[in-house]
Chain A
Amino acid sequence: MKPTILWNGREVPFAPGETAAQALARAGIRHFGTSATGQPYAVLCGIGQCQNCLVDVAGKGAQEACLLPCSAGLALTSIQGAGHEQ
């Protein structure tokens, strides 16, 4: 059985060495959440420059999914910002 990470409580399988963004994309999850200014969080640059693919890592806060290596049981949740300005 493939190891899994948790996305909002749901198990998502990953291949060793994959980033969280890659594992989520393979499971069809490309829209990770919403920023405080209402913009969608999703992969843009893929190399840790744009801060556009943030996900919440249990105990660690917001991190870029494109840099985050998967490990068994890694628990991620989507960030839901205000959705409106002010």
Chain B
Amino acid sequence: MSSDKILVVGAGPAGLRAAITLADNGQRVVVAEQAAGIGGAVYAMLRGVDRSGKGGAIPPEAQALASDLAARRGMIDIRCSTSFAGLDYTGAALLVGRNGAIFRPKAVIFATGARELVRPRPGWIGPRVTTAGALQVELKTTGTVGQSRIVLAGSGPLLYAIGAQMARAGRPPLAILDEAFPFRHPFAAMGLPVAILREAAGYVASLWLARVRILSGVTVERIDHAGEALEIRTSHKGRFQTITADRLALHDGLARNDYGIPESAAVPIALAGDCREVLGRWAAESDGRRAARDILGALGSTRTDKPSASLAGYASAQKRLAVMFASDQQDHLKALPEDTVLCRCENRTLGDLRCATADHATPRSLRLNGRYGMGPCQGRFCLDWVEKLAGEPFGTQSTRGNRWPLRPISVADILAADPLSPNPPSNTK
């Protein structure tokens, strides 16, 4: 079962660049990607069915990644529709899905991308409320979005990026409701790297040309599901307004995504890209290279690449963006009605949490009695808020627990996972 291959989890820019760097240093690589094709969220157009280019032309960086990958097909075994499920104490990795496998990689690089944060709001559960990221992947892969009246709300630069991409596809959003006041921070903005400023200017221009309403300091207070439509109740300094829409896309920032990523004494492990630290697509490839180099070093392999560029510039850019798009999540959370569902999987409300923490709560009691973090999403969508609300210094690691599998899998998946053969079937698009 031992193998001479390195496992890379995730085929976004960080994972692909890591795999390419490893291949260039003579390593054989298996890439596990749970989506049906490469690109991750940011370059989802690489697996798109839209060839009109309306969902966004394929950026040159994504093109370069795809062609660098194609040139190394002999060394890199890309397994799409295949998820990483876990790594046991012996260092055996389990992949499940279309090209499931069980094998002992020489090393593992996790490049699973960011987690999108969505703060609970009354009525946020229902078929027409999604994350903004879901809307963006839909746009990038199909070239369009299904509904006509779409509202983007929350805070963060992604709202503007998606709004502009929708406008360019001829489907501008009804409005962007920003809790923050990003346009009040010209000094923070001016210090941003030129590449980001240029991208931002393009977005603002597209939004302006499409006459998209951009409202700052506006909060979504409540969402009512009225048949096929949504009634979105918004507030701005205590003044209320209701917007009727077909879909609401929420976004409250991005966070690193190290859920369930194991520590192993048996195998060297590295994290690359937004799953390690949210630095954006510009930094992801550099960080993929860096992670590959760290792994090569840990394996005692000689390295031929030149040293990677510093990521410090990207980190300071993220700090500036955080200032521009600051929104007080704690304040908003505390104002929620008691019956707001915090944990979708286990159907737990803010009131349930208040009961669970009324006397004495520990991370363990919150899990076992409160059920937070115990559902199928393993807390990815509730624990950020539970920790903020619990009012005690709960460490994220302790509320989460840390065990595999990383996602629900079936026994059949485990049985179907073949020991990795020397020449596994290559499956990509």
Residue ranges of A at the interface with B (Cβ–Cβ < 8 Å): 15-19, 22, 25-26, 30-32, 35, 37-40, 42-52, 54, 60-62, 66-67, 69, 85
Contacts and interface: CB of A to CB of B under 8 A. Distances in A.
7 contacts: A17-B48, A25-B146, A37-B345, A37-B375, A39-B344, A43-B134, A45-B131
B329 interface: no
A38 B41 CA distance: 29
Interface size class of chain B, counting residues whose CB lies under 8 Å from the partner chain: 35 or more
B35 interface: yes
A31 B115 contact: no
Interface of B: 34-37, 41, 47-49, 81, 83, 113, 115-116, 118, 125-131, 133-135, 137-138, 141-142, 146, 257, 341, 344-347, 375-377, 380-381, 407-408, 410, 412, 429
A39 B134 contact: no
A17 to B, nearest CB: 4
A-B interface, 4 closest residue pairs, ranked by CB to CB distance from nearest? A46-B134, A17-B49, A51-B376, A42-B127
A17 B137 CA distance: 13
Contact of B137 (A37, A40, A46, A62): A46
B19 to A, nearest CB: 20
Nearest to A30: B127
A52 B128 CA distance: 13
A49 B345 contact: no
Contact of A46 (B131, B341, B380, B429): B131
Contacts of B126: 31, 40, 42
Contacts of B118: 44
Contacts of B116: 45, 49
Contacts of A39: 125, 341, 344-345, 347
Contact of A51 (B34, B113, B146, B408): B408
A74 to B, nearest CB: 13
A42 B141 CA distance: 19
Q: Is the interface of A mostly helix, strand, loop or mixed?
A: loop
Q: Is the interface of B mostly helix, strand, loop or mixed?
A: loop
Nearest to A31: B127
Given A17-B36, A17-B48, A31-B127, 6 more contacts: A16-B49, A43-B130, A45-B116, A45-B134, A46-B130, A51-B345
A16 B377 CA distance: 29
A50 B41 CA distance: 15
Contact of A48 (B35, B37, B49, B346): B35
Contacts of A25: 138, 146
Contacts of A38: 347
A33 B429 CA distance: 31
A6 to B, nearest CB: 19
A4 B162 CA distance: 30
Nearest to B80: A69
A61 to B, nearest CB: 5
B35 A44 contact: no
B410 A17 contact: no
A54 B125 CA distance: 15
Given A39-B347, A42-B126, A43-B130, A69 B36 contact: yes
Nearest to A25: B146
B127 A40 contact: yes
Given A50-B377, A51-B376, A60-B412, A44 B142 contact: no
A43 B257 CA distance: 20
A50 B257 CA distance: 13
Contacts of B113: 47
Contacts of A48: 34-35, 83, 407
